[in-house]
Amino acid sequence: MEQQRTELSALGEFTLIKHLTQYFLPKNEGTIRDAGDDAAVMQPMEGKQLVMTTDMLVEGVHFDLMYTPLKHLGYKSVVVNLSDICAMNATPTQFTVGLAVSNKYSVEALEELYSGILAACDAYGVDMVGGDTTTIPTGCVISITAIGYANKEDIALRSTVKEGDLLVVSGDLGGAYMGLQVLEREKEVFKSAPTAQPSLENYDYILARQLKPEARLDIVQLLAKLEVKPTAMIDISDGLSSEILHLAEESECTFAIYEDKLPIAPETRDAAKEHNIDPTTCALNGGEDYELLFTVSQNDFEKIKGNPNLSIIGHATEKAGENLLMTIGGGSVKLSAQGWKTL
């Protein structure tokens, strides 16, 4: 079926933005005026502190449109920002979108992108309150700025780990990285034989981890329900090792983590084996899982013990030595940030 293609130039910027945002309806009480004026108007939440973050996604650096559907890209570009708000133990409420695209993008392509942004608004109860759209000579850049709120005493920094605290991670690790490996493999197959059908069956879980990550707002809510206040927190965008080193550096402490405690999904293990990658390496260095990594006081052990969403993977020690991984074989290796750096 021939797909319709409307050039961006067919609509003026004003008409284009109106067209793309027509289905966005504000859900938050604090959103007073979300579009149609020079700036958004919001009512700050009483008694709370405001947290704010920006994340930029650049075509060819952070995403590859050969295997990233635009709807997923829209969703993910919002989620990575919400994840940073959640990593402060705060609740996201609003965001703005800055979008720069070349004229290779059609109006229909941007509709897809915005349908993903809208899906994220619905999934997380956040409002898009404005933005800007412009054209550039080549590629696509999406810059989102999100805000959220938290009680002053609930905000979790990176610098406040205490000696003896337990180190906890939500969900499971390494899946997004293995999803990316499968997509990259299929891309190479496609390049050499464009008529070949991609073989993506049996990879649903890890592909979703890569293409449609989620911000763990549910974990922020779970911790509030359990009455557990993390002593420090960070989200896992660059890989577990790298984020542990950030916490250690900011808090001037060290960590010991245990290989046998690392949460790795069976689907991730299977794909890792197939690609001859050590699943532990995947969990330590694979990026983009967007799970939350945090520390809690040992007094909270009973409250989190056995929770299927949380894994206690280690503890904080005084800043004497190195950050260590205690291996299944009984040895120990120094953690390093081989990371998943795209910068």
User: What phi and psi values does residue 232 have, to the nearest 5 degrees?
Assistant: -160, 155
Query: Which of 84, 127, 172, 288 is in the footprint of Mg ion by CB under 5 A?
Result: 84
Interacting stretch for Mg ion, rule CB under 5 A, among 131-139, 170-178, 233-241, 325-333? 233-241
Does 55 interact with Mg ion (rule: CB under 5 A)? Answer: no
Q: Which of 61, 66 has the CB closer to Mg ion?
A: 61
Does 214 interact with Mg ion (rule: CB under 5 A)? Answer: no
Residue reference for tokens 């605290």: 165
DSSP state of 90: -
Q: Which of 214, 235 has the CB closer to Mg ion?
A: 235
Task: Kindly give the residue spans of alpha helices, DSSP state H, lying in the chain.
Answer: 13-20, 70-86, 107-124, 175-192, 204-211, 217-226, 240-251, 266-274, 279-285, 301-304
> Minimum Å distance from CB 238 to Mg ion?
8
Q: Which of 232, 277 has the CB closer to Mg ion?
A: 232
> Minimum Å distance from CB 237 to Mg ion?
5
Q: Which of 82, 277 has the CB closer to Mg ion?
A: 82
- Rounded CA-CA distance 257/335 in Å is 9
**DSSP states of 35-60 as a string?**
SSSSS-EE-PPTTEEEEEEEEEEEBT
Interacting stretch for Mg ion, rule CB under 5 A, among 102-110, 229-237, 279-287, 330-338? 229-237
The helix/strand/coil state of 167 is strand
Does 59 interact with Mg ion (rule: CB under 5 A)? Answer: no
Q: Which of 130, 148 has the CB closer to Mg ion?
A: 148
Task: Kindly give the residue spans of alpha helices, DSSP state H, lying in 87-150.
Answer: 107-124
> Minimum Å distance from CB 277 to Mg ion?
24
- Rounded CA-CA distance 311/223 in Å is 13
> In this structure, how many other beta carbons lie within 10 angstroms of the beta carbon of residue 167?
24
Q: Which of 165, 235 has the CB closer to Mg ion?
A: 235
> Minimum Å distance from CB 83 to Mg ion?
7
Q: Which of 84, 172 has the CB closer to Mg ion?
A: 84
Query: Which of 235, 259, 267, 291 is in the footprint of Mg ion by CB under 5 A?
Result: 235
Q: Which of 242, 254 has the CB closer to Mg ion?
A: 242
> Minimum Å distance from CB 311 to Mg ion?
19
Contact 289, 265 (CB under 8 A): no
Greatest CA separation found in the chain?
Answer: 65
> Minimum Å distance from CB 46 to Mg ion?
27
> Minimum Å distance from CB 198 to Mg ion?
31
User: Cα separations (Å) of 343 from 20, 38, 238, 240, 339?
Assistant: 30, 33, 10, 17, 11
Interacting stretch for Mg ion, rule CB under 5 A, among 98-106, 137-145, 202-210, 234-242? 234-242
Contact 288, 341 (CB under 8 A): no
Q: Rule CB under 5 A: which residues touch Mg ion?
A: 84, 235
